[in-house]
Structure 1
């Protein structure tokens, strides 16, 4: 067959791909039989040597199971295919078209592979989808952009994806490499499934997710659509394959949720309708692109919320959170606590001056830990500097005094000292705070009068 004449009509990079078929409906060798001038120039520029016709495809392109599957499907079904995917390991986007051509061999199929790569995403190529795929992606995007409750919306989207894939289980799982933990953002099960919810497997599951990067191998997704794929997975990732089969999973499509070159988590559909693999892949490929962006925004807002409410040094609630809590109590939205305490850490200035601020910071963290442990049924805030405030909602006056003694005993065991003032049973939270603050300063004055070496103030 005169492939060179056929390819000479293409100005874009193009080559002819051959796929060998087996009787069990799997494929064997995939080769690049010929290439046009643009393809040959690209190969020589990238690899520093001339293109060799008939080479295994891995000699021209990165080895990729999804690419192999596309070539197999195109040549076997005699239907053209299009995909637009991110080559995230190379920082490129690939726009590819596969067009079947007539074969002169009974167990070999041919297709023309036309492709282009660029460093920036092309929105026009991204939305060049079939109507049903575009409709599903648009529906997900509208839901994501029109809701203020991200977790509720994600749950709705994951239910829609489960229905689209005709799968038994869909899930969005966030991963945190710092804590080596996973968090379920969305989880949907079909009504008649025997599969268990993801929460059943959550403990220690981060170790499984660590194996997925190698299994992906630069691909945009992992697709296990039949027994043949599962057998290959057993060779490549036996631990995960065993866990899948142990959980009665026969098929799975798994996508990483990437944003700004960082994996935020993963989305998958289990026991899906394998007849719709291409449609599912195209839909989820684009949906996960937008999902990752929304999830990244959600995580950023969550981080900012934490930063605005948590003291970065001690890890306890900060003054901003304290003021917000007081406002809620004053407005009547929350009840006034039985006990209000102001606690000052004595001697911090001396430690900072004599031992350095690292020692002073360690002292503050120890103080905060003591207060949280002893006043475990209340809220502890760092009001500022060396001063803390605590509210205990339900406690007797005798128990309050006992807790104060426990705080001082724990402080003494750690070679630190608190000045503490309290107000019990106040009807006005601001007056209770003022009273507790005055009593704390009285206790503080008495301490520094007895210990002038501590350099008060």
Structure 2
């Protein structure tokens, strides 16, 4: 067949790709045999959106594909399945190394050479994601994606739903384990959101692997983007792929080997150009790799979106209940808690203590040393209160005033803590509080408890300034 003449009759960007086949079923060189004008322009024409993202801007027939893009195991797997296994292939993806989406089609071609297979490779680019192109999928893949979408949509229990979704994905992959990591590259932190292990397998939880790893596990996680090397994911199916991983990332490859991992799928979870985490499946059904990849390429978009929403809601909850300066609960959270005591029909604590703590000297600190010094004083005060009233709920009720609600400590112990903190406050080297408390032993009127504690705090403040008039605020 005259491959050049063949592709010249195709309008979209198309080339012919050959795959060298070995007797053991493995493969060798993958080459770009011939390309039509549209395809060659995608490499050579500087005005084409892909040209400046190629490794080489000169198309040479029968060149190894790695002359134009980095070695990509996913691309190689698709080409092999098409050219050697004679399976047509289509996908619509956004590899990290490109600024555009690629709609790619591969069709197997007949070959008279026993040790070489051929296929066509046709591509179209879109600058923005096209949802219609993403829906052009098989019925079984569509069913799996729809099931994930329905479970995630409107869930009230995010973590339980995620575990359910990951159980489905583990079954699709027939994997030993599926796991979702959350990552924070700014803070260099990662955590396990959820993990699912195949029934009957005695496998250490991922948290244990992370603790027992010879290096900080984030040191491995932060190598994953380079290891994926601009592709959409990383799929290791066999020893040959594992050797490629060894070449790219020896430390991680050894870590996987020590953990008994023979195959894996790793997909980044990306939302608005930010990596929120990763999904991985280990020791999966490698014969089903193509379907697994197709399912995860779509479901990861849904999962990443849901994680982003969950994190946003959690952040809004924190902003609505936590004082951003001191890290204790804010006045809004205090009002909601008091309202619960007054209005809720839920069972209330049999006894509780209310403590008001007013920070002495904040105004002088602000006036004499500036508001940054005042902020440091407030942070230090909150830290002391957390240490002393470790069983309590601590609220910043106002500028220099804190309220502590303690439903766990006995009255005698609570009194000891208040008195110790009061004595410490008389030392000018220490952070100083005016304190008042009330212990409700079954009355159930939190408004009375708060009013009495507040009155006693102001009495203590007058006592303090009578002893130390030079520290009285003006």
Which stretch shows the higher mean deviation, 443-452 or 131-140?
443-452
The count of aligned residue pairs is 457
Question: Does the CA-based 8 Å contact 1:18-1:111 persist in structure 2?
Answer: yes
Selected match of 2:401 from 387, 396, 402 = 387
Q: Which residues of structure 2 form unaligned runs of 5+?
A: 46-50
TM-superposed CA distance for 1:75, in Å, is: 0.9
Are 1:150 and 2:122 an aligned pair? no
Cα displacement (A) at 1:278: 0.2
The counterpart of 2:299, out of the listed 287, 301, 310, is 287
Deviations along 1:126-161, whole A, 9 cap, x unmatched? 010010001100110011004211111111100111
Q: Is the 8 A contact 1:349 1:455 kept in 2?
A: no
> CA-to-partner distance for each residue in 1:63-102, whole Å, 9 max, x for gaps?
3221112111211101111111112333321111111112
1:27 paired to 2:42: no
Residue range with higher mean Cα deviation, 187-196 or 446-455: 446-455
TM normalised by structure 2 equals 0.92
Give the drift of 1:53: 1.5
What is the Cα deviation at residue 215 of structure 1? 0.8
**How far did 1:214 drift?**
1.4
Contact kept in structure 2, 1:423 and 1:433, CA below 8 Å? yes
Say if 2:418 is the partner of 1:404: yes
Distance in 2 between residues matched to 1:326 and 1:256, nearest whole Å: 43
**Corresponding residue of 2:375:** 361
SS at match of 2:182: strand
| Partners of 1:66 and 1:219 within 8 A in 2 | yes
Q: Which runs of 5+ in 1 are unaligned?
A: none
TM-score w.r.t. structure 1 length? 0.95
Mapped partners of 1:430, 1:89: distance in 2: 61
Residue 438 of structure 2 is matched in structure 1 by 423
Supply the RMSD in Å over aligned alpha carbons. Answer: 1.9
- SS of the residue 1:250 aligns to: coil
> Alpha carbons of 1:118 and 1:409: their partners in 2 closer, same or farther (altered >3 Å)?
farther
TM-superposed CA distance for 1:375, in Å, is 0.7
Residue 69 of structure 2 corresponds to residue 55 of structure 1: no
Residue matched to 1:103 = 111
SS of the residue 2:98 aligns to: coil
| Residues 394 and 289 (structure 1), Cα distance of their counterparts in 2 relative to 1, 3 Å cut | closer
- The counterpart of 1:326, out of the listed 338, 355, 360, is 338
Instruction: Tell me, in whole angstroms, the C-alpha distance in 2 between the residues paired with 1:126 and 1:49.
Output: 30
Distance 1:307 1:283, change over 3 A: same
Could you tell me how far apart the structure 2 residues matched to 1:335 and 1:199 are? 35
Give matches, 1:124-203, under 5 Å: 124-203=132-211
- Go from structure 1 to structure 2 and tell me whether the alpha carbon gap of 1:410 and 1:111 turns closer, same or farther (over 3 Å shift): farther
The answer for the alignment partner of 1:81 in structure 2 is: 89
Post-superposition shift, 1:198? 2.0
SS of 1:87's partner is coil
2:268 counterpart residue number: 256
Secondary structure of residue in 2 paired with 1:58? helix
Following superposition, the deviation at residue 24 of structure 1 comes to 2.7
Seen in structure 2, the aligned counterparts of structure 1 residues 289 and 413 have a Cα distance that, compared at 3 Å, is farther
Tell me the distance in 2 between the aligned counterparts of 1:409 and 1:104: 95
1:384 alignment partner, SS class: coil
SS of equivalent residue, structure 2 residue 84: helix
Structure 2 CA distance for partners of 1:68 and 1:409, relative to 1, 3 Å? farther
Match status 1:90 vs 2:104: no
Q: Which moved more, 1:37-46 or 1:397-406?
A: 397-406
What's 1:7 paired with?
7
Listed one character per residue, the Cα deviations across residues 37-79 of structure 1 (whole Å, up to 9, x for unaligned) are 1111221121595422122212333432211121112111011
Change (3 A) 1:414 1:220: farther
Q: Return closer, same or farther for 1:233/1:329 CA change in 2, 3 Å cut-off.
A: same
Partner of residue 115, structure 1: 123
Aligned to 1:113, what secondary structure does the other structure show?
strand
- Seen in structure 2, the aligned counterparts of structure 1 residues 210 and 50 have a Cα distance that, compared at 3 Å, is closer
